[in-house]
Structure formats: C-alpha cells, structure tokens
C-alpha cells in the first residue's frame, strides 16, 4: 500500500512499496535486483542517507535522493532517562504534526542479549479521549501512514541511537502503545506490521510485536484473521461498565462484555495469551470490588494482567495508586488465580507517559527545545 499524506511532496523510501520502487528503477534502466538492494540498504543500521548506500552507483544515489525522502520524519528531539536505559523522542513529520516514541532497554534473564522495547505511535493524537491521557486530552489530528509508523522504529535502529538499543532488529520488541488507537487506523497499522516483519527490511518477528487497543472490537476480530501471530493487549482500566465508560469512553460503543468476548475469540483461535492492561488510579479503579471484578473477567482463558501505576498528566485530578495499594490489588488477583505483573514506571523524569512530552513542547520548535536541553546535556538528531 502506498499511502502518501503530502500530495506533491517527495515520498519517503519507507512508504514506497516494492513494485512501485521496481517500476521507478526500471524506468531508469536499472536491473531488476536493484529494488531489493535499495530496500535492504535503507534498513541497514549503519545507513542514515541515500549517500551511505555505496554499493549503488553514485548517479543512482543522487537520483534516489532527488525522488525520495530518506525518512517521513523531518526532525526528532530525543531525551534520555533512567541512566540511559530509557529514551523518548518527539518526532516532527513533514506536515508539522508531532508524535512520540520511546525506547526502553531491559536485561533479559538467561539471554545473551538485552532486549530493547520500542513503543510507537499509530496516530497523531487520538479520538478515544481517555481523561487520564495527555494524548486523549489533545484530540485527534490524523492517521499515520505505514511509513511514518515504521520510521519511528528506524530512528532507533540508526545512528546515533542504534548504539543505545545495542541490539539487532531481531531483538526488538515493538509495542503499539504510544499516541493513538491502533485499531482505529487498522489498515495502515497492519501494513506497518507486515513491513516491520518483512525479512528483507527489519525482520522483526510477529511474536515480538504487540498491538494494544482500548477495545475496538471489529479490529480485534480482524487481527484474528490478519495478524494471528501478533500479540494483543487490551487496555481495560476498569472492571465495571460504569467506571470504564468514564475512563475509556469507547466503552460506551463496545462495553466490557463485548471486548472480553473479542479477546476470548482472539485467544481461542490463535492459542495466544492476551494481556489485559490496567492503569492504577488511586482511590478510583484500585478498589477491592474492581479487583474482584477483574478476576472474573480474566479468569478461564489465556490472560495476563499488567498493572501500570498512573503517571499523572500535569494538573491531573488523579494520582497513581501507592505501592501498598498495588500490593493489595495484586494479592486479590493472585488469590483468584490470575497471572499478574506490575509494570515498572520507566521514564517518569522525561514525561514518558503517552503525549506528555509532546504537550510539554507545544508551541516550541524542536530545534528550540533541543538547544534548551543541550545546555543541560541532552542530545538530539535530525534524521532526514
Ligand atoms: S490512552 Fe490510548 S486510547 Fe486512550 S486517549 Fe490515550 S492514546 Fe487514546
């Protein structure tokens, strides 16, 4: 699928499908193998521009640079936290829209390599309007193209950030948990998954890719047929419709029993475990009643509950559940036979919750933000 948002502008190489690129090369009299060569080269971790593709003739490199952008991302501002283990980028696209991605490094027990998790955005903004989320509060701007989704991963795959990841693409976990509701942009998100999965490109295994949804039931059902190897996470955040209507407003369209039924269909058909995400908000959804309700929803099928202490947005009326409250909630879930983990709170010092850094930089150019931070030792990159 070629899906170009900017009529008249040069498309990025990540947005061009192979037949289109092959036709362009053929029209220039290039041999048939060149399309594969260009695509493979553009995904190499040492390549940051067409000029780096030195196995191509120089005139072809020049022609590629004239016809295509190397990235859909015009500029990125990157800041680091957690002793360098977490980094967050605000990316500016060629039409000025801003999106976010986050890289987190984790030591993997018993494995020779560290795992690198990259959290990416699927939309500029989001229409779901969850009240605890900075992205939801800012509203929806537009869908991201497959190239704009893939280029977020490529930023972290290329210098200077490739060293931060310190892992081959095969060791990346990709999670669609950044800005946007992925299944409200399903066609383009599914295409981006295929591109990320393509062995001729990054070759990231489908089982290392997770699509997280607030509960778009038709999209979950499409995943069963179209992406059965990809992991599904459902952002539940409440165990009763009354509370979920408030916290995840899309619940008014697809209430909890429909979302859970879709999750069970996915799990039943794919034999995969579904992650139920649950942000912990002090005094609101962390009660014993909600915990017992969550046990009932998660019991009897392949699930895993992931508790996430709320990282409050500035001015939020809510705060995260304290550790003691989380421990009580976990105890009720475990007593009910539910597998549960508590996610660590990476990147609090860099506003790593969805949409927060973007909001913080609102009204400032990325260059301005970069210059301010550089005086404090942060780093940045302009990829294209
Ligand atoms: S939490 Fe996710 S689904 Fe809800 S508004 Fe934020 S980005 Fe959208």
- Look up the CATH number of the domain holding residue 141: 3.20.20.70
Tell whether 51 and 112 lie within a shared domain: no
Concerning whether 354 is annotated as a catalytic residue, the answer is yes
- 63 and 86, same domain (yes or no): no
Nearest to 310 by CA among 339, 337, 278, 287: 278
* Sole residue written with tokens 């030591």: 107
* Residue 76 maps to a domain: no
Do 129 and 21 lie in one domain? The reply is no
Closest Cα to atom 4 of ligand 1: 130
Whether residue 17 is contained in a domain is answered as yes
* pTM: predicted TM-score of the whole model, two decimal places: 0.89
Residues 57 and 109 in one domain: no
Please choose from 214, 233, 252 the residue to mutate so as to test ligand 1's pocket, defined by most ligand atoms within 8 A of CB.
214
Per the residue annotation, which of 15, 92, 100, 141 is the catalytic one? 100
Q: Is residue 74 part of a domain?
A: no
Question: 59 with 89, same domain?
Answer: no
CA distances to 319, 331, 338 from 328, rounded to whole Å, are 17, 5, 14
Q: Is the CB of 123 under 6 A from ligand 1?
A: no
CATH of the domain at 44: 1.10.150.530
Ligand 1 proximity of 234 Cβ (cutoff 6 Å): no
Pick the closest to residue 297 from 346, 208, 234 (CA basis). Answer: 234
Q: What is the mean pLDDT of each run of 10 residues along the chain (384 residues)?
A: 50 89 96 96 92 97 96 92 84 95 75 76 96 90 96 90 62 93 98 94 94 98 97 98 98 98 98 97 98 98 96 87 97 98 70 56 62 46 35
Strand, helix or coil at 48? coil
CA-nearest of 72, 122, 137, 85 to 316 is 137
**Do 369 and 361 form a contact (C-beta atoms < 8 A)?**
yes
Residue 161 lies in a domain: yes
**Domain-embedded: residue 364:** yes
Quickly tell me which residue has 């996470």 as its tokens: 233
Coil vs helix vs strand at 352: coil
Q: Is residue 6 part of a domain?
A: no
Considering the domain architecture, whether residues 30 and 141 belong to the same structural domain is answered as: no
- Burial bucket for residue 318 (CB in 10 Å: 0-12, 13-18, 19+): middle
| Domain final position from 67, 93, 112 | 67
pLDDT value of residue 379: 38
Quick check: is 126 catalytic?
no
Q: Are residues 35 and 160 in the same domain?
A: no
Asked whether residue 181 is assigned to any structural domain, the reply reads yes
Is the same domain home to 174 and 226? yes
Ligand 1 atom closest to 213 (CA): 3
Q: Looking at the structure, do residues 88 and 215 belong to the same domain, yes or no? A: yes
**pLDDT at residue 15 in the model:** 83
pLDDT of residue 259: 98
**Domain's final residue, options 24, 44, 67:** 67
135 lines ligand 1 (CB under 6 A): yes
Q: Are residues 63 and 90 in the same domain?
A: no
Q: Is 4 within the bounds of a domain? A: no
Q: Which of 67, 94, 112 is the last residue in one of the domains?
A: 67
**Based on the domain organization, do 58 and 138 belong to the same domain?**
no
Which pLDDT score is estimated for 144? 97
Q: How far is the CA of 289 from the centre of ligand 1 (A)?
A: 24
Say what the pLDDT of residue 366 is.
Answer: 64
Provide the 8-state DSSP code for 199: T
The size of the chain, in residues, is 384
Question: What is the 127 CA–ligand 1 centroid distance (Å)?
Answer: 8
**Residue 247 CB less than 6 A away from ligand 1:** no
Residue nearest to atom 5 of ligand 1 (CA): 136
Per the structure, the complete domain to which residue 148 belongs is given by 81-381
Q: Is 129 in the pocket of ligand 1 (CB under 6 A)?
A: yes
Are residues 119 and 175 in contact, defined by beta-carbon separation less than 8 angstroms? Answer: yes
Tally the domains of the chain: 2
Is the domain of 203 the same as that of 282?
yes
CA of 245 to the centre of ligand 1 (A): 14
Burial class (CB in 10 A: 0-12, 13-18, 19+), 84: exposed
């Amino acid at each position: 699928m070629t899906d170009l948002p900017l009529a008249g502008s040069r498309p990025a190489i990540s947005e061009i499908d192979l037949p289109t690129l092959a036709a362009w090369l053929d029209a220039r009299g290039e041999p048939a193998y060149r399309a594969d060569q260009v695509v493979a080269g553009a995904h190499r971790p040492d390549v940051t521009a067409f000029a780096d593709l030195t196995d191509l003739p120089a005139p072809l490199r020049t022609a590629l640079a004239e016809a295509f952008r190397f990235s859909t991302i015009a500029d990125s501002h990157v800041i680091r936290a957690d002793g360098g283990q977490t980094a967050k980028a605000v990316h500016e696209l060629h039409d000025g829209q801003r999106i976010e991605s986050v890289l987190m490094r984790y030591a993997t027990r018993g494995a020779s390599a560290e795992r690198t998790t990259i959290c990416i955005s699927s939309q500029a903004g989001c229409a779901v309007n969850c009240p605890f989320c900075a992205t939801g509060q800012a509203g929806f701007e537009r869908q991201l193209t497959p190239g704009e989704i893939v280029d977020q991963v490529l930023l972290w795959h290329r210098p200077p950030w490739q060293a931060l990841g310190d892992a081959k693409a095969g060791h990346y976990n990709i999670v669609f948990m950044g800005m946007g509701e992925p299944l409200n942009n399903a066609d383009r998100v599914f295409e981006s998954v295929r591109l990320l999965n393509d062995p001729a490109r990054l070759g990231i295994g489908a089982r290392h890719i997770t699509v997280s949804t607030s509960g778009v039931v038709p999209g979950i059902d499409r995943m069963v047929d179209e992406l059965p190897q990809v992991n599904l996470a459902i952002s539940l955040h409440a165990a009763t419709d009354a509370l979920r209507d408030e916290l995840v407003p899309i619940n008014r369209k697809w209430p909890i029993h429909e979302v859970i039924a879709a999750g069970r269909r996915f799990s039943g058909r794919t034999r995969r475990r579904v992650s139920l995400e649950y942000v912990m908000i002090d005094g609101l959804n962390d009660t014993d009643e909600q915990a017992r309700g969550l046990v009932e929803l998660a019991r009897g099928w392949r699930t895993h509950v992931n508790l996430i202490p709320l990282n409050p947005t500035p001015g939020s009326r809510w705060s995260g559940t304290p550790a003691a409250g989380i421990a009580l909630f976990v105890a009720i879930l475990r007593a009910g036979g539910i597998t549960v983990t508590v996610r660590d709170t990476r990147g609090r010092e860099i506003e790593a919750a969805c949409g927060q850094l973007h909001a913080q930089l609102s009204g400032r150019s990325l260059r301005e933000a970069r210059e301010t931070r550089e005086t404090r030792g942060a780093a940045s990159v302009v990829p294209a």
